Amino acid sequence: MTLPTVHLGTTDMEITRVGFGAWAAGGSWEYGWGPQNDEESITAIRHAVEEGVNWIDTAAVYGLGHSEEIVAQALKGIADRPYVFTKCGMIWDDDGEISRVARPETIRREVEASLRRLKVERIDLYQVHQTPDDDTPVEMYWETMAELKQEGKVRAIGLSNHSALRLEKAEQVAHVDSLQPPFSLIDRTCAPEIDWCARNGAGVIVYSPMQSGLLTGAFSRQRVDSLPEDDWRRRSPDFTGGLDANLALADALRPVAERHGVSQAAVAVAWTLAWPGVTGAIVGARRPDQVDGWLPAASLELTPEDLGEIAAAVERTGAGRGPEHP
């Protein structure tokens, strides 16, 4: 199937408006999603690609390398492979203890490990996952990222979870090809960073557009209470505090979804794509049928009436944080 595409910032990549998010494919680790079957992850990724999704987002740290290996297995034998985006900057020791480190030597080690696990000749978008725990200046690690691009190890470079101030500093060193911020109807706090990208020719691929499942209509207080012990969402403030308001907001998406003949999940994702400056949304799925649920967002255009109705629901429920309208 051919899905509409848009340029990722000023890069030469034309991406579909939804990409497959492979966090859950990492399986069991500190930030795992409860039991996850590798075969189902692989089938879900392949299904998304067969349906026309042309990029996958993963990270070295997801399952401590496991997600990247699963992505490689899923893409094996696919001639026209999708773009593969991954991240550095979260490293782990022999005990699996994770720290946020982005120094020239760690990034260089990480890129080689990711290339090996992903079995690709070049990473299409390489992103710094988080700001480091120490005071390593962004200018220092961004210089290394720019070198990797010049050397052809990566095609484009991006930042994730970085403030507009840090984006500005990075831009003085080399162009920021894209930003990966959290963004959903519940978490709208990165609107200033998205605006910075729009003004500076950087692409924006937003993450957790369905607030990690909360906006899909598949959640209830009972389901939250019965999440497996090893599902990170049990510890997430969005699934604990303010849950009633968040579920009420998810409910308010149902009439919009019914009008368009799509799922609430698709409406939640389409809402992020309607925000000025957003290039694409990274959407997670644990099984192929979940891909079918959100895929219509790739071409769904919400009307001004839909957006007005959703904005009214945000105000009425008081759910989430950040500006309500662009």
Ligand X SMILES: NC(=O)c1ccc[n+]([C@@H]2O[C@H](COP(=O)([O-])OP(=O)(O)OC[C@H]3O[C@@H](n4cnc5c(N)ncnc54)[C@H](OP(=O)(O)O)[C@@H]3O)[C@@H](O)[C@H]2O)c1
Query: Which active-site residues does the annotation give?
Result: 62
Residues in contact with ligand X by the rule CB under 6 A: 21-24, 33, 57, 129, 160-161, 180, 207-213, 216, 218, 263, 265, 282-286, 290, 293-294
CB 277 within 8 A of CB 195: yes
Torsions phi, psi of 243, nearest 5?
-65, -40
CB of 163 to ligand X, least distance (A): 14
- Measured between alpha carbons, how far is 275 from 21 in angstroms, rounded to an integer? 20
- With respect to ligand X, which residue has the nearer C-beta, 262 or 302? 262
- Measured between alpha carbons, how far is 261 from 263 in angstroms, rounded to an integer? 7
CB of 54 to ligand X, least distance (A): 15
CB of 211 to ligand X, least distance (A): 6
CB of 109 to ligand X, least distance (A): 20
Torsions phi, psi of 292, nearest 5?
-60, -35
- With respect to ligand X, which residue has the nearer C-beta, 11 or 212? 212
CB of 41 to ligand X, least distance (A): 10
- With respect to ligand X, which residue has the nearer C-beta, 155 or 286? 286
- With respect to ligand X, which residue has the nearer C-beta, 151 or 289? 289
- With respect to ligand X, which residue has the nearer C-beta, 265 or 300? 265
- Across the chain, which distance is largest between two alpha carbons, in Å? 53
Letter for the amino acid at 57?
A: D
- Measured between alpha carbons, how far is 55 from 82 in angstroms, rounded to an integer? 5
Letter for the amino acid at 278?
A: V
Letter for the amino acid at 88?
A: C
CB 194 within 8 A of CB 275: yes
C-alpha of 35 from chain center: 21
What value, to the nearest 5°, has the Cα angle with vertex 89 and ends 88 and 90? 100
